[in-house]
Amino acid sequence: MRNTFDFQFDRGVAACASFAAREGHLTIPVDHEEDGVRLNSWIRERRRDRRKGTLNSERAARLEGLPFWSWDGVSGNSRKNLGKPFRAGLTAAMEWTDSGRSLRRIPADTVINGVRLAGWVTRARAAERAGRLSSRHLTALHALPGWDHGRQTREDRWEAGIHALRDFVQEHGHAFVHTRHVTAAGHQLGRFVRDARAAHRRGELDLAKQTVLEGLTGWMWAPPPGRRVTAAG
């Protein structure tokens, strides 16, 4: 007897087929709905089911029979046009977002299938801002949930900086960051620390942010006199 999930699966397959026939690919914009199906989310859920081993062989075969279907999110034509390094990074980013995690919060040491994901995302954002990406590359990136090209608000920059500084403290056991220090993910952590100290001296750093910084192991509002801070901390 067919159940609700069977009907939902049928609707998803039909929506994929409709989109593929019309657009000639299955790289789905994040918010796109096809015949009432939020197709980007639906496809990511089926890929996640397969990785978890909860997708039966019949359903897997139906998906593999769809034009342009792929388990890593990169269809046959795109494999040639996107280039191998970009495809590898894109697949890693898909795996990361499929698990519900944000592309703005990637620990510097995250490696997925050999890809250092934080660095890849940083480089892809920079390439988009510089206008160096083709329409195929942009379409693929914009299909990632939460993708943006890195233009951040002041609060975004604060959150990203604090996240990177916490990672640094956890790794090194202190918060003495060289002014020119850049993390493996491309975050200019030294500049963030310098700017936070300068804002504090000017009386422009609110109390909540001061409290967060002062809660970090080894945080000081100025480097200790005579301490030579290296690029590694």
Q: Provide the β-strand partners of residue 112.
A: 115
Confidence of residue 199 (pLDDT cuts 50, 70, 90): very high
Query: Over 50: is that where the pLDDT of 231 sits?
Result: no
Provide the H-helix boundaries in the chain: 4-23, 39-52, 57-64, 76-82, 84-98, 117-129, 135-142, 154-172, 189-201, 207-214
Calpha distance 216→224 (Å, rounded): 16
Could you tell me what percent of the chain has a pLDDT over 90?
30
The predicted pLDDT at position 136 comes to 79
| Cα gap 72→87, rounded to integer Å | 9
In this prediction, residues 90-99 reach a mean pLDDT of 89
**Average of per-residue pLDDT values in the chain:** 83
- Which segment of 23-32, 77-86, 141-150 scores lowest on mean pLDDT? 77-86
What average pLDDT does range 3-8 have in this prediction?
80
Which pTM does this prediction carry?
Answer: 0.48
Confidence check: pLDDT of 156 > 80: no
Q: Confirm if 129 and 138 have CB atoms less than 8 A apart.
A: no
Per the listing, tokens 């994929």 go with 16
pLDDT at 130: 74
pLDDT in tens, 102-129: 888 888 788 998 999 988 988 888 888 7
Residue-range domain boundaries for the chain: 8-71, 75-151, 154-214
